[in-house]
Amino acid sequence: MNSGLLWLLLSLVGAFLTAVLFAPLLIKLLTKKHIGQNVLSYVEQHKSKTGTPTMGGWVFIVPTLIFTLIAFSTFSLVACACILSYGLIGFFDDFLKIHYKRNLGLKAYQKIIAQLGASIILAVFCFKNPNIGSSITLPFTNAEWNMGWVFIPFCAFAFIALTNGVNLTDGLDGLAGWSGVAYFATFTLLIWFLYVDALTAGNNALAKEMFSLAIFSSSILGGLLGYLWYNSYPSKIMMGDTGSLALGGAATAVAFFSKQPLLIFFAGIMFVVSCISVVLQVAYFKLTKKRIFKMAPFHHHLELCGVNESKIVSWYFIISMIGGVISLLAMRAI
């Protein structure tokens, strides 16, 4: 077996096992400290989940940080800084909710300012890095679009949008997790192909960066699978904003570092659906005082239409996997 592929699989399995072993310890600690989820008052169908241990994002964040060290380079180290910074923003949000026993943690403007700061730093890093720059790959073509200085606000907006998209999707047991599994499985394969392409072209510097990024992506994939061992319905632990913001930040990072941000619309289709459903609901209500959906994000609308929670999770995962296949076809179409 190719040694690079072996390390990729090792990072996935290692992160999975670490998460599976770490989760019970974290659940026990969180339960002892009475660190439980405060379910939003208007989501009446989930009242029984109040008190479920939260901040479970550490279950996959920690293994990711550990196993990325297998082959760290600039891309993977910055990606680790990304997942950690967004995770800490989410952690402070979760901490305030639990400490004050309320649904509101950080105020909306505080959360946006923190996310904006991290997003701008990451956007400038991408813009200045010679292996990324201001160009993005156009799906289903072999062409690149040089966005110039517009790349920076575009990248920063994408980080904020996707992190909040993942956060909005995290409303059912396993929903954000399984959607994330499909997403990172796609990008692990995609980045591996880019690594092989760089090796074939003799671009060893880019190959090193792509390999480290593939290890980062596969580590998250393994960590997520370990987390889902305990998060799938009925959940024993929830990722909280700690996990959802970290997951969204990492998802955006792998897309931009691989110069494939437009594939977010395919691989991350259900995160996009969550965002769009909320935007449409709010805008339509402000204009007409009526609602498009029974409740937004869209998965709550499906719940109120009588669809079983586990079935919704299955639908999201299947659609995300199909989106992942389309992403791989879009990348290798030419």
Domains of the chain by residue range: 3-262
d(CA 71, CA 215): 7
> What is the enclosing helix (H) or strand (E) of 252?
helix 240-257
Mean predicted lDDT score pLDDT of the chain: 92
Q: Do residues 218 and 187 make contact, with C-beta atoms less than 8 angstroms apart?
A: no
Least confident of 52-56, 193-197, 263-267: 52-56
Q: What pLDDT, on the 0 to 100 scale, is given for residue 106?
A: 83
The pLDDT assigned to 102 comes to 67
Range of weakest confidence among 27-41, 205-219, 286-300: 27-41
Residue, of 333 and 134, whose pLDDT is higher: 134
Rounded Cα–Cα distance for residues 206 and 60 (Å): 27
Residue 142, pLDDT score: 86
pLDDT score at 333: 63
Q: Per-residue pLDDT averaged across 148-155, rounded?
A: 97
Q: pLDDT above 90 covers what percent of the chain?
A: 82
Total-model pTM: 0.94
What pLDDT, on a 0 to 100 scale, did the predictor assign at position 44? 57
- Record the tokens describing residue 313, joined without a space: 């999770």
Residue 48 has pLDDT above 70, yes or no: no
| CB-CB contact of 239 with 173 (8 Å) | no
CB 52 within 8 A of CB 37: yes
Rounded mean pLDDT of 136-141?
94
Residues 42-52: what's their mean pLDDT? 59
Kindly tell me if the per-residue pLDDT of 204 is higher than 70.
Answer: yes
Condensed to tens digits (0 to 9), the pLDDT of residues 83-120 reads 999 999 999 999 888 877 766 778 888 999 999 999 99
- pLDDT band, very low/low/confident/very high, at 3 (cuts 50, 70, 90): confident
3-state secondary structure of 106: coil
The stretch 173-193 carries a mean pLDDT of 97
Give the pLDDT band of residue 198 (cuts 50, 70, 90).
Answer: very high
Chain Cα centroid distance, residue 224: 10
pLDDT tier at 215, thresholds 50, 70, 90: very high
Q: What is the DSSP letter of 149?
A: G
Q: What angle do CA 118, 119, 122 make, to 5 degrees?
A: 85
Checking if the pLDDT of 70 tops 90, the result is no
